[in-house]
Amino acid sequence: MLVCVAAYPQHAPSSNPPVAMKPDVPVDVLGRTTPRGTVLGFLAAGQKREHEIAAQYLNTRLRGKAAENLAHQLFVVLDRRLPAHLNQLSEKPEGSLAGGLNRELVGTISTANGNLDITLERVDRGKSGVIWLFSSKTLESIPEVYEEASAISAQDVLPEFLVNTRLAGVVLFEWIAVFVGMPLLYMLTALLNRLLSLLVGLLRQRASRSVEVLPKPVRLLLLAAVIRWFLTRFSLPLAARQFWSGVAAVIIIAACLWLFLLANSRVEKYIHRRLRDRDSLGTASILRLVHRVIDVSGIFAAVLVALYHFGVNPTAALAGLGVGGIAVALAAQKTLENVIAGISLILDRAVRAGDSLKVGDISGTVEDIGLRSTRIRTLDRTVVIVPNGQIANMNLETLSPRDKFWFHPKVGLRYETTPTQIRSVTNRVRELLSANSSIDDGSLQVRFVRFGAFSLDLEIGAYVFARDWSHFLQIQEDLLLRVMEIVQQAGTQIAIPSQTMYLAADSASDGANRARALATNKEVGREATATKSA
């Protein structure tokens, strides 16, 4: 050692100044750099009866057997009385800072003299670094509390082989409690539900109708309540209390989530029934979407609560979820566009199920309006699925909401028809339409409008009140037949499309040019007839 110390001054100083390096934080082999590491390390040493190692977690001046005895007493007190909230202990070297600087509250134990706070304090041990130890103030009260920690425990009541026998490191009693006790308790809650349901049915005089008084989620809550009651009545080891406290927490979270989902489903069915009574089934698609979003939100919230209960920080998961949500939104851009367009169509009531419409080149009847697409039954009885985004960006012609149908035929009379006959036809057609209750009198017009190429044209115009397109066609058919009868009764006929042609030719016998006319009447659907004059 002296040689080494004497040798230090003999080193020539370096020409370059030393670079300032950040000192390394010493790593404690016992895991005492964090509050959780201190508590779990102490409990592990006490469980193995390694009292010499357990004493190194205490901030005490005692040494040797006295320190080991104090460590044993502290382990017994914590194992019997400490609340099972180890998952909430801080894993940060500086602690949670909830109990103040360099102090950390592990839990509170009820004693005969009041509540005792089990605290840790951060101690600087020089070369060993800054570590967390059980505070000296807490250790002062441990011997007195140790005398009180003689409550009834499972080891004092159960047979020795159930307590001392271990399978995979777990006491045999706990295996039996998990696989036998919990199913048995749940069966008892089911039996209680049957008895209460029968009693309620008898009171309501509806014994034939099944009435479930205790739904399955409520039975799970009863099971968790029994576990909690058991933990308060028996002083189990801290590890067992930590396990059963976690089991009860998981059951409570799952049962509350189950109740939330059931309530959300009941609300959706009620609203759907009200919408069906109001003939607003198109809103059912949005209702389903809202129902699913609420369900997913409830599940996500339950997962976050479970992670927080077991000491897992969900901040990183939330950040990753946000980045993943952006990526999914970019990848599903078209799908989101169709969904938003579908919501807009349903809320605006631009299209309803059963409407007859024309979208682009597609004509038919709407069968279903979904969030992503709309199903249209065409006139050929085929089904066309059109994305809602396309419908929102196209001109949409809805035929079903029409309150009136435009009756607008054109009647062409032969050129041989006289003005008197034309007046007779127009007056009688006007009287015919005015007498019909399905015709809107304010829109009625019957006029002789023009001299056509082969006919004298009459134009009839009027709005017709009809239930739908089929009803309008029925009314229109009857009116057209009556117009034909009026034309025949007036002594004229409906013109047939025809054309008159005049031809000129020379005669070679007398050398004189004479005009010769050849008239050819070409009738549609008949053979041509030619007349020649000298």
Assigned CATH class of 405-489: alpha beta
306-336: pLDDT as tens digits: 887 777 766 766 666 666 666 666 656 666 6
Surface-to-core class of residue 245, CB atoms within 10 Å of its CB (0-12 exposed, 13-18 middle, 19+ buried): buried
Directed axis angle between helix 238-277 and helix 65-81, to 10°?
20
430-450: pLDDT as tens digits: 999 999 999 998 889 999 999
More confident position, 458 or 361: 458
Alpha-carbon distances of 398 from 85, 325, 357, 360, rounded to whole Å: 64, 37, 4, 12
At position 259, the amino acid (one-letter code) is L
At position 277, the amino acid (one-letter code) is D
Residues of the chain above pLDDT 70, percent: 72
Tell me: pLDDT of 11 over 50. no
Q: Which range is least confidently modeled, 320-324, 397-401, 521-525?
A: 521-525
DSSP H helical ranges for 449-524:
469-489
| Maximum pairwise Cα distance, the chain | 162
User: CB of 493 within 8 A of CB of 487?
Assistant: yes
- Please state, in angstroms and rounded to a whole number, the distance separating the CA atoms of residues 533 and 123: 136
Q: What's the pLDDT band for 230 if we cut at 50, 70, 90?
A: confident
The CATH classification number of 332-398 equals 2.30.30.60
Alpha-carbon distances of 272 from 197, 276, 281, 286, 287, rounded to whole Å: 28, 6, 8, 11, 8
Average pLDDT on 87-106 reads 81
Alpha-carbon distances of 165 from 45, 63, 99, 158, 176, rounded to whole Å: 20, 35, 40, 12, 12
Q: What's the pLDDT band for 461 if we cut at 50, 70, 90?
A: very high
- Please state, in angstroms and rounded to a whole number, the distance separating the CA atoms of residues 437 and 176: 86
Q: What's the pLDDT band for 482 if we cut at 50, 70, 90?
A: very high
Tell me: pLDDT of 351 over 50. yes
Q: Listing from the earlier edge strand, what are the strands of the sheet with 356-359?
A: 383-387, 373-378, 362-369, 356-359, 396-398
Average pLDDT on 452-472 reads 90
Domain assignments of the chain as residue spans, ordered by start: 35-150, 171-281+288-312, 332-398, 405-489, 496-534
User: CB of 56 within 8 A of CB of 30?
Assistant: yes
From the list 69, 82, 72, 67, the residue with the least C-alpha distance to 42 is: 72
Mean pLDDT over each residue of the chain, to the nearest integer: 76
28-47: pLDDT as tens digits: 788 888 888 888 899 888 88
User: CB of 328 within 8 A of CB of 319?
Assistant: no
**What do you get for the CA distance between the two ends of the chain, in Å?**
154
Tell me: pLDDT of 387 over 50. yes
Alpha-carbon distances of 387 from 58, 283, 293, 330, rounded to whole Å: 70, 17, 22, 18
283-308: pLDDT as tens digits: 666 677 788 888 888 898 888 888 87
Q: What's the pLDDT band for 281 if we cut at 50, 70, 90?
A: low
More confident position, 385 or 280: 385
Q: Would you give the DSSP letter of residue 474?
A: H
The three-class DSSP label of residue 356 is strand
Q: Which of 93-107, 212-226, 274-288, 419-433 has the highest mean pLDDT?
A: 419-433
The three-class DSSP label of residue 449 is strand
Question: What pLDDT shows up at residue 373?
Answer: 79
Beta bridge partners, 356, equal 365
Question: What pLDDT shows up at residue 256?
Answer: 93
User: CB of 289 within 8 A of CB of 371?
Assistant: yes
- CB-based contacts of 408, cutoff 8 Å, min separation 6: 459, 460, 461, 462
Q: What's the pLDDT band for 247 if we cut at 50, 70, 90?
A: confident
- Please state, in angstroms and rounded to a whole number, the distance separating the CA atoms of residues 260 and 266: 10
Question: What pLDDT shows up at residue 522?
Answer: 41
The number of angstroms, rounded, from the C-alpha of 346 to the middle of its chain's C-alpha atoms is 18
The three-class DSSP label of residue 79 is helix
- Please state, in angstroms and rounded to a whole number, the distance separating the CA atoms of residues 243 and 179: 14
